[in-house]
């Protein structure tokens, strides 16, 4: 048996033993009290007295053991499920799923795994064992009473839970998505607070959240009503069964001792059985949650990992992109349509083009975040043979070619830790050097290395954010540096200063720079102009401004803006 199986068996055994001890405690106590009323010699009661003490103590010990082992196994199972989800999500990427929905799956739905064990399986086993034990005891004392008890237990433990399941199955399947919807609305309210306030749309967004909340509340109220009715019916069944047992004992003239033992053990036998109706309701939700988790696990990875990965080439790397075609979804026009370019060690290539031309898609293909439909990306070190990027493990490929992403994220951590993310081993000297090259030292001097940076980087200006991201990229120092729109969303002056510093800092590094601004590109070795996923022009800045086309037009309009 696996270790988890062993722990589960231990928890089930402890739970059943605790319920059995409870049953035996009540049975022996009932026998002791009624027998004592007949005033027998004390010796006739001594075994029962010891029994009562032993059962009372052992019940607590077994209950403690069950809680310990049960929660241990449940929390381990929950942790393993979360780990499994992370593993499934990392290669798939967050592409099609809303963050809040994923978070809700990660938190609420994985709780379901815990409930499956703690509120489903373990109490179910304990209820079954206790019910059977009570019926067997009844059979020895009075078969007719045992049959009444059996009927009552079947109603409370099987019929009622089945009824609850039937009444709530459809609603339960809607609760998890409704909770995810509410989480998504609340996340929108939080993250979009500034935009909502700017356009006076806060009221509508709040109303939409309130509606989502009301939908969830209505579903949960419906569930709660079914639960309440089931709980009432359960207690009614318990009372009627005990009354039936007493009547059967009276009719058979069983005597006061046997009647008391039968009545009280019947009463206690219901204790673990009654929560089964509520457990059935929860199990319907648990099954829906498990289905949602399966969906996430079944998300195919964004890129296929090689069956037999090749070793990553060492030393300075050349990158050869040939006839690359990338389509984001079947049936959509290709985002890249036959792109070829070469990056040789120490050279800088800039990719420019209008919005939607495919620039970010090219970087995504280089970072192995999307699977090309055709064409190749090869890495070559020195005179050695080239390796196809697809033959390398994808995280190794990302280690070789990475850098400044389009939306750099600032973590809620100190400035130092935000930088260390890209170089965990970096010493103070290296951190200071990266900060100096990204021209951030003045800011760092002012704020200090340990200054906490706020959520979503709101304490950081746009220019500082891009420089922070550049410092990270320089610290990480990959063989091939990729820079995606580093001057995006900056004002002219800040963008000019950043581009000048960036071109300074990347001199002599193998760099692919995606940009929508042309100023400074005199410095790069080659410029590739992309339009509609294809290379329409390539050359140096001097060559491109001399030829009609997108580059010259943009250059002229930039010059006009600069002159104003
Ligand atoms: N994840 C995606 N799923 C579907 N289509 C996508 C995805 N990412 C990009 N596209 C589409 O692919 C095309 C190229 O997009 P890409 O982001 O590469 O352009 P870009 O040149 O980087 O644009 P920008 O300068 O605006 O960032 C666009 O038509 C875009 O709508």
Work out the pLDDT band at 330, boundaries 50, 70, 90.
Answer: confident
How far lies 366's CA from each of 6, 311, 333, 478, 519, in Å?
Answer: 47, 17, 20, 13, 25
Q: What percent of the chain has pLDDT over 90?
A: 41
**CA–CA distance, 31 with 269 (Å, rounded to integer):** 16
Q: What single DSSP character describes residue 302? A: S
Q: Which of 66-70, 134-138, 172-176 is predicted least confidently?
A: 172-176
Is the CB of 119 within 6 Å of ligand 1? no
Write a three-state SS string for 240-277: HHHHHHHHHHHHCCCCHHHHHHHHHHHHHHCCCCCCHH
User: Is the Cβ atom of 556 under 6 angstroms away from ligand 1?
Assistant: no
Report the pLDDT value the prediction gives residue 300, as an integer from 0 to 100. 76
Give the per-residue pLDDT at 64.
95
C-beta of 329 in contact with ligand 1 (< 6 A): yes
Q: Residues near 430 by Cβ (< 8 Å), separated by ≥ 6?
A: 423, 475
The conformation of residue 116, written as its DSSP 8-state character, comes to I
CA 517 to chain centre: 38
- pLDDT at residue 365 tops 60: yes
Q: Is the CB of 318 under 6 A from ligand 1?
A: no
pLDDT over 90 (residue 334): yes
**Separation between Cα atoms, residue 442 and residue 178, nearest integer Å:** 49
CATH topology of domain 317-408+475-563: Rossmann fold (3.40.50)
Lowest mean pLDDT among 99-103, 376-380, 482-486: 99-103
Domain borders along the chain are 3-186+213-297, 317-408+475-563
Whole-prediction pTM: 0.69
Asked if the model's pLDDT at residue 350 lies above 70, the reply is yes
Residue 93 is predicted with a pLDDT of 59
Concatenated DSSP letters of 394-447: HHHHHHHEEEE-SS----SSBHHHHHHTT-TT--HHHHHHHHHHTT-HHHHHHH
Q: Which residues contact 465 (CB under 8 A, 6 or more apart)?
A: 408, 410, 457
pLDDT score, position 183: 85
Asked if residue 254 lies in contact with residue 142, where contact means CB atoms within 8 angstroms, the answer is yes
Domain 3-186+213-297 CATH (choose: 3.40.50.11440, 1.10.760.10, 1.20.1560.10, 2.40.50.140): 1.20.1560.10
Q: What span, in angstroms and rounded, lies between the C-alpha atoms of 439 and 426? A: 18
More confident residue, 463 or 389: 389
Ligand 1 pocket mutation pick from 339, 357, 554 by most atoms within 8 angstroms of CB: 357
Residue 70 in tokens: 């049960």
Least confident of 139-153, 255-269, 463-477: 463-477
Confidence of residue 339 (pLDDT cuts 50, 70, 90): very high
pLDDT, tens digit, 9 for 90 and up, residues 92-139: 655 555 566 777 777 777 888 888 888 889 999 999 999 999 999 999
Please give the number of the atom of ligand 1 that sits closest to the Cα of 95: 1
Stretch among 276-285, 311-320, 387-396 having the lowest mean pLDDT: 311-320
The residue whose CA has the least distance to atom 30 of ligand 1 is 356
């Amino acid at each position: 048996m696996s270790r988890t199986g062993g722990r589960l068996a231990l928890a089930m055994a402890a739970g059943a033993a605790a319920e059995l001890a409870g049953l035996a405690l009540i049975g022996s106590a009932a026998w002791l009290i009624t027998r004592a009323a007949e005033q027998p010699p004390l010796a006739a009661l001594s075994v029962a007295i010891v029994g009562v003490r032993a059962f009372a103590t052992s019940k607590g010990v077994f209950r403690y053991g069950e809680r310990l082992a049960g929660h241990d196994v449940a929390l381990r199972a929950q942790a393993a499920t979360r780990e499994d989800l992370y593993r499934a999500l990392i290669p798939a990427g967050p592409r099609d799923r809303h963050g809040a929905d994923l978070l809700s799956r990660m938190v609420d739905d994985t709780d379901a795994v815990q409930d499956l064990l703690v509120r489903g399986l373990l109490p179910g086993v304990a209820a079954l064992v206790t019910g059977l034990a009570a019926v067997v005891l009844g059979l020895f004392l009075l078969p007719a009473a045992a049959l009444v008890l059996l009927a009552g237990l079947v109603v409370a433990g099987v019929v009622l839970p089945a009824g609850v399941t039937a009444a709530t199955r459809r609603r339960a399947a809607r609760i998890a998505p409704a909770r995810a919807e509410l989480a998504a609305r609340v996340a929108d309210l939080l993250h979009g607070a500034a935009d909502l306030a700017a356009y006076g749309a806060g009221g509508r967004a709040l109303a939409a959240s309130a509606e989502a909340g009301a939908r969830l509340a209505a579903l949960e109220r419906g569930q709660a009503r079914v639960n309440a009715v089931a709980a009432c019916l359960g207690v009614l069944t318990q009372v009627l069964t005990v009354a039936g047992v007493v009547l059967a004992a009276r009719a058979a003239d069983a005597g006061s001792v046997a009647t008391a033992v039968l009545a009280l053990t019947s009463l206690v036998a219901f204790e673990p059985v009654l929560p089964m109706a509520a457990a059935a309701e929860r199990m319907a939700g648990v099954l829906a949650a498990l289905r949602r988790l399966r969906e996430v696990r079944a998300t195919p990875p964004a890129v296929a990992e090689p069956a037999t990965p090749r070793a990553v080439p060492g030393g300075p790397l050349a990158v050869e992109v040939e006839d690359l075609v990338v389509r984001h979804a079947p049936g959509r026009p290709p985002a890249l349509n036959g792109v070829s370019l070469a990056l040789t060690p120490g050279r800088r290539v800039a990719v420019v083009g209008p919005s939607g031309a495919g620039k970010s898609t090219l970087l995504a293909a280089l970072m192995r975040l999307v699977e090309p439909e055709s064409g190749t990306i090869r890495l070559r070190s020195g005179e050695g043979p080239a390796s196809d990027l697809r033959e390398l493990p994808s995280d190794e490929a990302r280690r070789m070619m990475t850098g400044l992403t389009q939306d750099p994220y600032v973590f809620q951590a100190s400035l130092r830790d935000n930088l260390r993310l890209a170089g965990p081993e970096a010493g103070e000297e290296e951190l200071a050097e990266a900060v100096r090259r990204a021209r951030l030292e003045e800011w760092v001097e002012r704020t200090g290395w340990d200054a906490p940076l706020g959520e979503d980087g709101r304490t950081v200006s746009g220019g500082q954010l891009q420089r922070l991201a550049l410092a990270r990229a320089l610290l990480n120092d990959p063989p091939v540096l990729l820079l995606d729109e580093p001057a995006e969303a900056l004002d002219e002056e800040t963008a000019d200063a950043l581009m000048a510093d960036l071109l300074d800092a990347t001199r002599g590094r193998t760099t692919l720079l995606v940009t929508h601004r042309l100023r400074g590109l005199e410095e790069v070795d080659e410029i590739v102009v992309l339009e509609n996923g294809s290379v329409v022009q390539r050359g140096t800045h001097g060559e491109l401004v001399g030829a009609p086309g997108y580059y010259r037009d943009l250059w002229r309009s930039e010059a006009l803006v600069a002159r104003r």
